[in-house]
Structure 1
């Protein structure tokens, strides 16, 4: 569990600098330059991600059950993942209505992903991993919205084509993930087959 926690501290810690240490981040960018900061940020992120994946795998080998999710929670989680994938894709598709309306769809997608996985899993490692991501996403979304208001950020209007692209690509990725990739990568079929 220590490796998982260390990975989460590094990964979510570096992703939280704008939430808790905006002034420090600005000083670091000034000292290292934009590319130097991005290099440090990327290095710490990758190290944290590798540690959290490794730590989660280790923790799954000796599971500590906290509760047994009620029947059907895996199906509810699978259903919630469809909009999560659409939200993640909407963060990257230019001029889509989802981003125009919600402003930060990736963070909302992470919230939904974490919540879905908390509903379907009752082991300690799951609660630590998905609970940490859910807490981070809630704080990050709040911070982003506050920053948007302070800067009076205006988001580009969405188009039908951009919105349709985000929905269709997100749904296609979801279909691949739920029917094949999740079981292949994590050894668990979200639909139970």
Structure 2
């Protein structure tokens, strides 16, 4: 469990600097240079992500069950995660109506992903991993929306073309992950019979 916690501190920590220490972030970008800061951010994020994945892999085999989720939670989670993929895809669309509406669709996608995994998994490792991401995403959403409002930031959304692309990309990514990659990479096939 310690490795999982270290990974989460690194990954979520580096992604929280902009939220909780924006002045320090700006100072570091000036000291190091923007490209060096981005490189440092990327390196810490990758190390954190890999450590989180390894830590979760180890922790889930020795984790205690806090509850045994009913089978129906897997079906609900599958539907919620479909929407998570669509929101995450919308984050890459510059003129998406989804992006204009929520402001931070990537964070909404992460919230949905974490919540879905929390309701359908019941070990201590699951609660630590997905609960951490859910708490971070909720805080990120609130802070980011407040910042967007204070800065008067608006998102142009000329038509639904970008939303259509986000839906198609999200659904294709969902199918690839749910029916192939999740089992291959995580060792759990969500739709196994």
Using the TM superposition, name which of 158-167 and 109-118 deviates more: 158-167
Supply the distance in 1 between the matched residues of 2:77 and 2:133 (Cα, whole angstroms).
16
The alpha carbon displacement at 1:61 in A equals 2.1
Partner of 2:93: 93
User: Closer, same or farther in 2 for the Cα pair 1:74/1:35, shift >3 Å?
Assistant: same
Partner of 2:56: 56
User: Closer, same or farther in 2 for the Cα pair 1:77/1:91, shift >3 Å?
Assistant: same
Is the 1:96–1:160 Cα contact (8 Å) retained in structure 2? yes
Matched, 1:121 2:121: yes
Partner of 1:82: 82
Provide the TM-score with structure 2 as the length reference. 0.96
The alpha carbon displacement at 1:158 in A equals 4.2
Partner of 2:167: 167
The alpha carbon displacement at 1:168 in A equals 1.0
Supply the distance in 2 between the matched residues of 1:125 and 1:158 (Cα, whole angstroms).
43
After superposition, give the CA deviation of every residue in 1:113-139 in whole Å (9 maximum; x if it has no partner).
000000000011110000000000001
Provide the TM-score with structure 1 as the length reference. 0.96
Is the 2:103–2:148 Cα contact (8 Å) retained in structure 1? no
Supply the distance in 1 between the matched residues of 2:158 and 2:13 (Cα, whole angstroms).
32
Partner of 1:145: 145
Is the 2:90–2:105 Cα contact (8 Å) retained in structure 1? yes
Gapped runs of 5+ residues in structure 2? Answer: none
Runs of 4+ in 1 over 6 A off after TM superposition: none
Supply the distance in 2 between the matched residues of 1:130 and 1:192 (Cα, whole angstroms).
22
Q: Count how many residue pairs are aligned between Structure 1 and Structure 2.
A: 193
After superposition, give the CA deviation of every residue in 1:126-183 in whole Å (9 maximum; x if it has no partner).
1000000000000111111111112110111142211111111111111121122211
Is the 2:80–2:113 Cα contact (8 Å) retained in structure 1? yes
* CA RMSD after TM alignment: 1.1
Partner of 1:102: 102
The alpha carbon displacement at 1:192 in A equals 3.8
Partner of 1:19: 19
Supply the distance in 2 between the matched residues of 1:63 and 1:192 (Cα, whole angstroms).
23
